[in-house]
Amino acid sequence: MTGAKILLVDDEVIFTRNLSKLLTIKGHRVKAVNSGDSAIQTLKEESFDVIVLDVKMPGMDGIATLEEIRKLGLSTRTLVLTGHGTIDDALEVIRQGAYDYLTKPCDIDALISKIEEAWKKKA
């Protein structure tokens, strides 16, 4: 079985590079972008099963990006991941349709498990 097609959206290049490698080893297809604007452009060109989206990014933050993703009407599951989360942020992203909200640092195995769970529920 082919793995999920995953879009990573995070301004931390080292984080996206390392997570991309781990997910690829697990059999997933991964694309990483480093801004909300890049994520929206990519989503207009390609479809994905799961999006892992950071909240705090320069330019369009994750909450604004999630709102734009919702406007695209995609069936993609979005996991919001942040190192600067608040309860208000968590409530807002869930209200906007995020699949789940995780805080950094988080256990990488738990994150991969949550990504795979989101993918299986989408299918």
Which domain CATH number covers 42?
3.40.50.2300
- pLDDT score recorded for residue 32: 97
pLDDT of 86 > 80? The answer is: no
Q: Which domain holds residue 57?
A: 5-122
Separation CA 5–CA 15 (nearest Å): 18
- pLDDT score recorded for residue 123: 66
User: Which DSSP helix (H) or strand (E) runs through 64?
Assistant: helix 62-71
Q: In terms of pTM, does the model score above 0.85?
A: yes
As for how many domains the chain has, the answer is 1
- pLDDT score recorded for residue 14: 93
CB 19 within 8 A of CB 8: yes
Question: 26-70 pLDDT, tens per residue?
Answer: 999 999 999 999 999 999 999 999 999 998 899 999 989 999 999
